[in-house]
């Protein structure tokens, strides 16, 4: 059974940093690209970052480029999201998601999500 | 960025057919595939993939769910609707980066 378990969320002040983790199990982690997708309270879904299976390719939307960094440790089957210079508009539930292979960028398994609140 | 437009809400009776539409402002077809995907999200839960590449049923999803369309017009059909299907449904394109989502359609029972 595929499982994705996020951790590391919480309350953080604007301008500060936070690092999220996602522990994966039930599949060969190193074979799949992975992603983070967020959802602001009562809002829709927004893609935040993707990383290739080997970790050599990373991709971001303009809204987080230069502030967020996605990474992975295939030996530990763990995905990370380093979030710097946080803003109030980054307040959201953050989901770790397994991405379809072949560059198709759909998300076939999702974690339960972790809440990040950016507020003074 | 590609913009996806969905109707905000839809009300359907139990046992009837629900058709949820998603329109894009750019063609999302590429080399024989339509890069359109559908998700279901129930309150307090993570999204679940229902359909990928416009018409392919995801693993474990009942055949009551189906998807069709190409180019800029896509539909998700649930037939027949069951009580457990009340949720918000999102379409998502991956023809171009960034992948973008529609605003969601909330399915309610009459």
Q: What is the pLDDT of residue B1?
A: 96
Chain A residues touching residue B55 (CB < 8 angstroms): none
Q: Is the separation of the CB atoms in A98 and A109 below 8 Å?
A: yes
Which of A54, A61, A8 has its CA nearest to residue A34? A54
CA-nearest residue to B58 within chain A is A108
Q: Cis before residue B80, ω within 30 degrees of 0?
A: yes
Pick from B49, B94, B104: CB nearest A105: B94
For residue A55, give Cα distances in angstroms to A19, A41, A70.
17, 30, 9
Per-residue pLDDT, averaged over B3-23, amounts to 97
Chain A residues touching residue B49 (CB < 8 angstroms): 106-110
Q: What is the pLDDT of residue A104?
A: 82
Q: What is the pLDDT of residue A102?
A: 79
Q: What is the pLDDT of residue A101?
A: 82
Q: What is the pLDDT of residue A45?
A: 98
Q: Name the percent of chain A lying above pLDDT 70.
A: 100
Per-residue pLDDT, averaged over B95-99, amounts to 95
Residue A53 pLDDT > 80: yes
Q: How far is B50 from B57, CA to CA, in rounded Å?
A: 6
Q: What is the pLDDT of residues A75-97, one digit of tens each?
A: 999 999 999 999 999 999 999 99
Q: What is the pLDDT of residues A23-36, one digit of tens each?
A: 999 999 999 999 99
Average pLDDT value over all residues in chain A:
97
Q: What is the pLDDT of residue A47?
A: 98
Q: How far is B7 from A15, CA to CA, in rounded Å?
A: 36
Chain B residues touching residue A47 (CB < 8 angstroms): 98-101
What's the pLDDT band for A112 if we cut at 50, 70, 90?
A: very high
Q: Is the separation of the CB atoms in B14 and B109 below 8 Å?
A: yes
What's the pLDDT band for B35 if we cut at 50, 70, 90?
A: very high
């Amino acid at each position: 059974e595929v499982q994705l378990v996020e951790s590391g969320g919480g309350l953080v002040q604007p301008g500060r940093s936070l690092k999220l983790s996602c522990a994966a199990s039930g599949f060969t982690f190193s074979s799949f690209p992975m992603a983070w997708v967020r959802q602001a309270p009562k809002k829709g879904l927004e893609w935040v970052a993707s990383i290739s299976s080997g970790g050599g390719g990373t991709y971001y939307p303009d809204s987080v480029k230069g502030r967020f960094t996605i990474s992975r440790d295939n030996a530990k089957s763990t995905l990370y999201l380093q979030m710097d210079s946080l803003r109030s508009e980054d307040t959201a539930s953050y989901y770790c998601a397994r991405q379809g292979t072949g560059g198709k960028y759909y998300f076939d398994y999702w974690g339960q999500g972790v809440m990040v609140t950016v507020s003074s | 960025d590609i913009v996806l437009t969905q109707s905000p809400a839809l009300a359907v009776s139990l046992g009837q057919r629900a058709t949820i539409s998603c329109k894009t402002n750019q063609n999302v077809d590429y080399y024989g595939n339509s890069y359109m995907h559908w998700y279901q999200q129930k309150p307090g839960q993570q999204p679940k993939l229902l359909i990928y590449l416009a018409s392919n049923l995801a693993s474990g999803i009942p055949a009551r769910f189906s998807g069709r369309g190409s180019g800029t017009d896509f539909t998700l059909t649930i037939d027949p609707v069951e009580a457990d299907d009340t949720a918000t449904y999102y379409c998502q394109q991956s023809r171009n980066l960034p992948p973008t989502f529609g605003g969601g359609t909330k399915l309610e029972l009459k």
